[in-house]
Each structure stands twice: as C-alpha cells, then as structure tokens.
Amino acid sequence: MEIVETSLSGVLLIKPRVLHDPRGFFMETYRADLLASAGVHESFVQDNHSSSSRGVLRGLHYQLCHAQAKLCRVVQGEVLDIAVDIRVGSPNFGKWVGAVLSTENCHALYIPRGFAHGFAVRSETADFLYKCSDYYDAADDRGVLWNDPALAIDWDTPSPILSAKDQRYLPLSQIPIDSLPVYQP
C-alpha cells in the first residue's frame, strides 16, 4: 500500500497493491498500522455505501459538532472525489484537492476532520464506500455550495444532478465563522 500526500496537508491518496491472477484480484483496502505511520490515528465507527448514476454530484458536506474524517473508495464505476479545507485559520482555507477514484485504479482518499467533502459520478453508475470517524447526526448536517465561485472547483460535470439540500447551501464566504471548524495545528 502506497500512501501519497496531496497538495492539502492531511488529505492522503491511498494506492493499494492489487494482486491479479486468473481468478480475479486481491487487495488490502484498509490497514490501521500503515495509516498510523502516515499520521492517521482515527477509529472508524460507521461505513456508508452510496450508489449513484452518471452526473450525480453529492456535496459539499460536513458536520461541525460530530466532525467526520472519511476514508473513501469506489468499488464500481468512477467518481471525482473532492475535499475542501474549511478550517478557520488554516493556511489552506478555501483550497481544494480532487482525486479520481475508480474500479480500475482502486485508489482511496483519506479526508481529515474539518474538510467539506463531495463527489461527482463520471461513469454510468458508481458505488462509493466510505468509513467515518464519527456517527452521522442529521441535526449537525451542514454544507458549502457545490459551485461556490470563490472555490472554483472543476467538477468536470456539465449538468450535475443535485439534491435540493445541496442546491441551497451558501458559498463558503457567507457561512458564519462559528458554523465552521477551527484549524488546530
């Protein structure tokens, strides 16, 4: 398993070693010891599975009181996975990083607490799995507008299919500062 730092400190691209033979393949998708050696010391408490069709865009989501670190991967299809640093005081505040996660590349993306997260489906369908470090709490559900002009995220999705909730979020600059996570170096 290769763990690669991205342009945003703490966001990691994980490239598993995939062993192929005539029967198919085998890979380790999660290794706590290797993630710990890369600085990830999360205990994941919830697994989620999202199935979506081409053009679906989910995000940008976060929780404040029950902030979640996420370990994301795709088991069928392809998505563009996005993490946005929304931690007040962070030197990377308002910056984002994206990674293509697919059946073919088997990559995973680790997103620390304090980041907004979203993804856009680039294949006919995609099954997206992610581990969370805290439980989902509907009362703590928050988000940033997916097409915030200041973030200028290139979703590579011409006409995204969005939930009503995702269409109503505010741009990052309009979210009250006490509704955003705080950077803790």
Mean pLDDT by 10 residues, the chain (185 residues): 96 97 95 96 97 98 98 98 98 98 98 98 98 97 98 96 98 98 94
Beta strands in 77-114 (DSSP E): 78-85, 96-102, 108-111
**Letter for the amino acid at 114?**
G
The one catalytic residue in 61, 62, 107, 169 is 61
Query: Is 183 annotated as catalytic?
Result: no
* Spatial separation of the C-alpha atoms in residues 90 and 86, rounded to whole Å: 8
* Spatial separation of the C-alpha atoms in residues 72 and 74, rounded to whole Å: 7
The pLDDT score that the predictor gives to residue 157 is 95
DSSP-derived letter for residue 88 is B
The pLDDT score that the predictor gives to residue 32 is 96
The one catalytic residue in 62, 107, 117, 130 is 130
DSSP-derived letter for residue 174 is G
The pLDDT score that the predictor gives to residue 185 is 87
pLDDT tens digits along 25-42: 999 999 999 999 999 999
* Spatial separation of the C-alpha atoms in residues 117 and 29, rounded to whole Å: 20
Query: Is 110 annotated as catalytic?
Result: no
The pLDDT score that the predictor gives to residue 116 is 98
Is-above-0.85 flag for pTM? yes
The pLDDT score that the predictor gives to residue 52 is 98
Dihedral pair phi/psi, residue 37, rounded to 5°: -65, -20
DSSP-derived letter for residue 172 is G
